[in-house]
Chains A and B, each alone.
Chain A
Amino acid sequence: TQLLKQSPQFLSIQEGENLTVYCNSSSVFSSLQWYRQEPGEGPVLLVTVVTGGEVKKLKRLTFQFGDARKDSSLHITAAQPGDTGLYLCAGEVRDQGAQKLVFGQGTRLTINP
């Protein structure tokens, strides 16, 4: 079973449009991270949110952590072809004393020029 569900799984939009990607769970996370992955490479961290309700901005990307720390969203304003990639959310959980990151299945985003 997938602890973190991302939606949509695939999204293809035109340059200049806005979009939102969602990351949902029934579990509470200590922190939540968003990564972006390019073909042939490993994921690279975009942002970490820690506090319920926290909002972080990274240029045209806005990340929000839900008040209950169970969900998160990524909003991109005026998308550009350079935003194309696989976006992954990852939640931090504590399991038998060890902290682990569990990942969603990813959202593959394509921005068409």
Chain B
Amino acid sequence: NAGVTQTPKFQVLKTGQSMTLQCAQDMNHEYMSWYRQDPGMGLRLIHYSVGAGITDQGEVPNGYNVSRSTTEDFPLRLLSAAPSQTSVYFCASSRRGGFSYNSPLHFGNGTRLTVT
């Protein structure tokens, strides 16, 4: 039972490079989201999706793109990496968008990204 799988675990980029962080879930969850975690800032929502073909912006969307072509996959694209995007990125999914007791967020183990 894999749950939410993120790849890669670590990545170093130079300023201006682009890359895609992969996220896949095998729980048939409708809702998927990307957060970034920075010291003293908690988790901040970047983008989210309530189902295949639907995406929307969170608190800190600038510099990131997402797409949701299938229920299982929700990749996060960095278009032109900047040092301010150095962070730990978490993908999370939920059975549906309401976070009541029967629909919590399930997190992957994160991707640690450094932009030099």
| B42 A45 Cβ-Cβ under 8 A | no
Given A100-B58, A103-B43, A104-B42, decide whether A42 and B97 contact each other with a Cβ distance below 8 A.
Answer: no
Please report which residues of chain B, range 5-60, place their CB below 8 angstroms from some CB of chain A when the two chains form the complex.
Answer: 35, 40-45, 48, 50, 56, 58-59
Select A100's contact among B45, B100, B110, beta carbons within 8 Å: B45
Is A44 an interface residue, CB under 8 A from the partner? yes
Distance A81 CA – B97 CA, assembled complex (angstroms)? 35
CB proximity of B88 to chain A, nearest CB, Å: 10
Select A2's contact among B35, B42, B48, B104, beta carbons within 8 Å: B42
Is B81 an interface residue, CB under 8 A from the partner? no
Chain B: residues with Cβ within 8 Å of the partner, total of 26
| A40 B109 Cβ-Cβ under 8 A | yes
List the A side residues contacting B99 at CB < 8 Å. Answer: 30-31, 33, 48, 90, 92, 99, 101
Is B105 an interface residue, CB under 8 A from the partner? yes
Distance A8 CA – B43 CA, assembled complex (angstroms)? 17
Please report which residues of chain B, range 91-116, place their CB below 8 angstroms from some CB of chain A when the two chains form the complex.
Answer: 92, 97-101, 104-105, 107-110
CB proximity of B22 to chain A, nearest CB, Å: 15
Is B66 an interface residue, CB under 8 A from the partner? no
Distance A4 CA – B35 CA, assembled complex (angstroms)? 16
CB proximity of A15 to chain B, nearest CB, Å: 26
| B105 A101 Cβ-Cβ under 8 A | yes
Distance A40 CA – B97 CA, assembled complex (angstroms)? 26
8 A–B pairs (Cβ distance < 8 Å), ordered by A: A2-B42, A4-B42, A9-B40, A42-B4, A50-B100, A92-B98, A99-B97, A103-B42
Chain A positions near chain B (C-beta within 8 angstroms): 2, 4, 6, 9, 30-31, 33, 35, 40-45, 48, 50, 88, 90, 92, 98-106
Chain B positions near chain A (C-beta within 8 angstroms): 4, 35, 40-45, 48, 50, 56, 58-59, 90, 92, 97-101, 104-105, 107-110
